[in-house]
């Protein structure tokens, strides 16, 4: 029995050693632009919401073939500012001051994206430019939308009648103008009430698919580890196959949503799957 016990102990030790060696090799092999920015371990928490937003905006991954301005998830802010009430209060203040806009996402009940207003207006201008180049439609409604709707309606949603009223301040409004805004990705109809619209971010569709798939991939990766955990430093350098968003983006999201936990150790931060 002693021999069997000793053999089992050696086997466990070897397995743990192999996992650690694998992490080191992967960390060296999977280099990226993280070398130029602070590691997630060095910039995981911030003193206030606006500081967190600005740094995450600067760290937003460059994504080939998708023309989109940086956005931040509310869950990512929850991972970075300890007091969630503070985050909600400061976001509300910044929204009312027209510094940013908050968008409801279709990837989860509590999923919201935050984008600085100047970035959102730039995103709209890019859409308008593409439409103008293709000569697909009259683009005057987009100017009405920016001037009379966005500047007045700061909530994530708007009713049909209010939308029509605000657009009519710009010029002769017809129903096809709303269709243009929907097709351009600026509005989506609410499923539970077709007379209500969510404000939306154009060109975000492929990233939302990647967000959902990346979440599953990262959770699956950790669930296959023996202790369902991994050191943050080598984990951050891994590349996800199913998402164009980088590991840092997904880690902040899942830590903030409570699906992952972090623990301090003498060797550094450990990321572990939550038990509940």
pLDDT tens for each residue of 67-126: 899 999 999 999 999 899 999 999 999 999 999 999 999 998 889 999 999 999 999 999
Residue 86: the pLDDT is 94
Nearest Cα neighbor of 34 from 225, 235, 174 is 235
265: which residues sit within 8 A by CB, 6+ positions away? none
pLDDT-derived band at 172, boundaries 50, 70, 90: confident
Are 160 and 175 in contact by the 8 Å Cβ rule? The answer is no
* pLDDT (0 to 100) of residue 181: 95
pLDDT tops 70 at residue 268 = yes
Q: What is the mean pLDDT of residues 237-241?
A: 93
Q: How far apart are CA 142 and CA 181, in angstroms?
A: 7
Strand order in the sheet with 157-159: 157-159, 196-199, 187-189
| pTM: predicted TM-score of the whole model, two decimal places | 0.84
Q: What pLDDT sits at residue 9?
A: 53
The answer to whether residues 247 and 260 touch, using CB atoms and an 8 Å cutoff, is no
DSSP helix/strand/coil, 41: coil
pLDDT for 44: 75
Residue 67 is predicted with a pLDDT of 86
Q: Where are the beta strands (DSSP E) in the chain?
A: 72-73, 100-104, 112-116, 157-159, 187-189, 196-199, 229-231, 260-265, 268-273
Q: What is the average pLDDT score of the chain?
A: 86
Given a cut of 50, whether residue 7 has pLDDT beyond it is no
């Amino acid at each position: 029995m002693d021999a069997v016990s000793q053999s089992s102990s050696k086997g466990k030790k070897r397995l743990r050693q192999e996992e650690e060696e694998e992490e080191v090799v992967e960390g060296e092999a999977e280099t990226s632009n993280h070398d130029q920015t602070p590691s997630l371990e060095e910039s995981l928490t911030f003193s206030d919401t606006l500081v967190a937003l600005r740094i995450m905006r600067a760290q937003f991954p460059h994504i080939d073939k998708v023309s989109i301005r940086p956005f931040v998830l509310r869950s990512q802010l929850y991972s970075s500012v300890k007091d969630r009430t503070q985050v909600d209060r400061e976001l509300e203040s910044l929204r009312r001051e027209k510094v940013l806009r908050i968008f409801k996402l279709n990837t989860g009940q509590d999923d919201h994206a935050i984008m600085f207003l100047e970035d959102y207006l730039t995103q709209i201008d890019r859409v308008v430019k593409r439409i103008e180049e293709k000569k697909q439609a009259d683009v005057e409604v987009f100017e009405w939308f920016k001037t009379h709707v966005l500047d007045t309606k700061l909530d994530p949603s708007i009713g049909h009648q209010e939308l029509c009223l605000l657009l009519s301040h710009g010029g002769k409004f017809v129903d096809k103008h709303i269709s243009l805004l929907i097709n351009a990705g600026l509005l989506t109809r609410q499923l539970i009430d077709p007379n209500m619209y969510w404000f939306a971010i154009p060109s975000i569709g492929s990233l939302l698919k990647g967000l959902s798939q990346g979440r599953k991939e990262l959770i699956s990766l950790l669930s296959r580890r023996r202790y369902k955990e991994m050191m943050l430093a080598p984990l951050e350098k891994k590349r996800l196959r199913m998402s164009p968003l980088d590991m840092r983006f997904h880690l902040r999201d899942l830590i903030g949503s409570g699906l992952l936990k972090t623990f301090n150790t003498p060797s550094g931060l450990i990321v572990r799957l939550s038990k509940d």
